[in-house]
A and B are shown apart, each in its own frame.
Chain A
């Protein structure tokens, strides 16, 4: 059950609004070698994540698409966070972020690791918006798991 006292400002924190208005890494990465789409047919959120993944490292990452403020800010902050991370580090952050927005956080460990991403902690009080926050992350995981070395950036 959601608490009666939830405040919409817990969801729309300033940093989230800021990233939704002026997202980082919001372009098509010209030399991406992996990409994946995240699509939520229910609300029409649609993002493409572009990765440059070499030597087990996310050397660059960007995204394109459209969606609500939560999904867009999440994509923006995710890309900022994952640059330079290894595949296993990215997977671990995904798991920690997923626990955060579904209110299963092991606070001591996860919140330290998540850093600024904890601004999404309010999402867990808005269950219908969890899928918005996690959409870009799923697309990123799908891109990471790609085996093909090259994708069309057509």
Chain B
């Protein structure tokens, strides 16, 4: 995934981003009279018609609660829900469906691990290791845990390109470190971290690793067994699925030993006022009626991504990032933030003398949707000494023509502020 290496494109002959964009109804609209150029995919991606249809079909035909009813609708809903779990298992190559826990999103998954695993494993004086490029969602839950436990959060530093410094990381793998929590792909910089190596180094010292894969799953193949990560978390809505649904993957051995995160229905096998016996995995961590339509929508998103082919997506987005990086580097007064050798789908930049919020407003007027701000990664902004960036982030349906539109938009901004 090097953005500097020349690589022969190996996108399958049938792959056509412009054609695929027709699968996404929201992309087909005018914004301020201009065709929408949607480049805010790292915040959330658009949804293909097949995902929207799957959710609608559930409510129109199968709407009922799962795991309890003996009637036909409940049977159909339960089957669809559990089939989606199997789809997730295959998608991330988990060893068992029992290791796939449905949650609201990556944020809830991290909080679950912090509150369940963390509270039983982290003691006063211990440390949790995060990286300098984490999203707030992979910082704050650990700070809350460490504050409660009298433990501390330590930070793996990064260099000026936005790459983690592994020599420093190694020094932080001390006996008091009880967990490493690190992003697979940085949302603010696009850096693809060498998580396999990070995990191996931690495991050599018996330290488990949680990987925040929210920005990775839409862009690259993930194999949790090959990575050997202990926990892997992601959200559905950044990978063409609905909002409000996400996944916690955990190694069965760890999940078995963890106490429940929330109590309620579905997570029990029997309840008396004296004693409750908890349900088996994965249900132990899914208290209450879950987001059934969300799970079914996520299943449809996985089906869509699989049909298009994640390898094709990865190559296409890589080509697009290389092209966009080349184009933007030619413009005067632009500084790209995040120049790691390994990057995925994110182009973060600042323009000399122009605040990102002004850039975002003017680009919006041109129909171009980008994200401006600190991207829920304020420590990253502090590291680079900037208040915010403008971020263009790509998905499988974006094209070089859209990158050209972005470049014209940036020139318009620069002219206005000249």
Contact = CB atoms under 8 A, between A and B. Distances in A.
Interface in B348-366: 353-358, 361-362, 365
A8 interface: yes
B358 A45 contact: no
Interface of B: 32-33, 353-358, 361-362, 365, 372-374, 381, 387-388, 416-417
Contacts of B357: 43, 45, 68, 70, 129, 132
A97 B33 CA distance: 30
Interface residues of A, number: 22
Tell which of B357, B361, B388, B417 has the most Cβ of chain A within 10 Å.
Answer: B357
Contacts of B365: 6-8
Contacts of A129: 357, 361
CB-based closest 8 A-B pairs: A44-B387, A68-B355, A8-B365, A68-B357, A44-B388, A69-B358, A68-B358, A43-B357
A44 B373 contact: yes
A45 B387 contact: yes
Interface string A1-35: 00010111001100001000100000000000000
A42 interface: yes
Contacts of B388: 43-44
Contact of A12 (B353, B358, B373, B381): B358
Contacts of B353: 21
B373 to A, nearest CB: 6
A126 B373 contact: no
Contact of A43 (B33, B354, B373, B417): B373
Given A43-B373, A45-B387, A67 B361 contact: no
A43 B387 CA distance: 7
Nearest to A126: B361
Interface of A: 4, 6-8, 11-12, 17, 21, 42-46, 66-70, 126, 128-129, 132
9 contacts: A6-B32, A6-B365, A7-B365, A12-B362, A17-B416, A44-B373, A45-B357, A68-B357, A70-B358
A45 B388 CA distance: 9
A10 to B, nearest CB: 10
A93 to B, nearest CB: 25
Contacts of A7: 365
Given A4-B32, A12-B416, A42-B373, A66 B361 contact: no
B14 to A, nearest CB: 38
Contacts of A69: 354-355, 358, 417
A50 B83 CA distance: 63
Contacts of B417: 17, 21, 69
Contact of B374 (A6, A44, A66, A70): A44
A41 to B, nearest CB: 8
B418 to A, nearest CB: 10
A112 B355 CA distance: 31
Most buried by B among A11, A43, A46, A126: A43
A7 B416 CA distance: 13
A8 to B, nearest CB: 4
B355 A67 contact: yes
Contacts of A66: 355, 387
A97 B373 CA distance: 26
A17 B413 CA distance: 12
A12 B358 CA distance: 9
Contacts of A8: 361-362, 365
Nearest to B362: A8
A4 B365 CA distance: 10
